[in-house]
Amino acid sequence: MTLKFAIALALWAAMTGSAGADDKVIHEDEVEAAFVYNFAKFVEWPSGKINESINLCILGESPLGFSALKAIDGRIAQDKPLVTKLLNKSDDLKGCHIAFIAASERNKMAQLLKIAHQQHALTVSDMDGFTQGGGAIELVKTDDKIRFEISLLAAKEAGLVISSRLLSLALAVYDENNRPKQ
């Protein structure tokens, strides 16, 4: 784990909901967007899957919000720019490397996860029970801090490898021996 990454994650988590030196409150959505950006750095997609950019697709209406995720647009992860796209309900996930699925899409979650896994997309959400429902990474709020859970089962189904550095920072990691409770 790089020291810079660990410090950045610790600072974002510690500052959630607290005032900074200039009394600016760091909002949960900014912290969650920063996590999504860092997830892009520590996931390995199948060979040849990513060409010019890492495409972050946002599905549904999220409290996290398009503006917070749009703020990470253009940042570099794995020597590729991150490109943020807001998908309409009729759009599919083709070309998406990360799919942020909002809670508004809960009733279509199983279908969206199936498509995302076929496209080798990392699935991320802040909806309750996302990893239990088959998503790869769930952003959770615990003790007024933003943390995350990882389902290696979902990542494996999508053909993704998640870095041990990222796994070591997760609140919970689910695998064949530790399945999420449904």
Strands (E), the chain: 43-44, 54-59, 76-77, 80-87, 98-101, 122-125, 137-142, 145-151, 161-162, 172-174
Any residues with CB less than 8 A from the CB of 3 and at least 6 apart, and which?
none
Map tokens 């996931």 to a residue.
43
Sequential pLDDT tens for the chain (182 residues): 454 544 455 444 443 444 343 334 457 788 888 999 999 999 999 998 888 999 999 888 765 566 778 889 899 999 999 999 888 765 678 899 999 998 889 999 999 999 999 999 999 999 999 999 999 999 999 888 999 999 999 999 999 999 999 999 999 999 887 766 65
What's the pTM value of the predicted model, to 2 decimals? Answer: 0.83
Instruction: Report the first-to-last Cα separation within the chain, whole angstroms.
Output: 31
Question: Going from the N-terminus, what domains does the chain have, and what CATH number goes with each?
Answer: 3-174 (3.40.50)
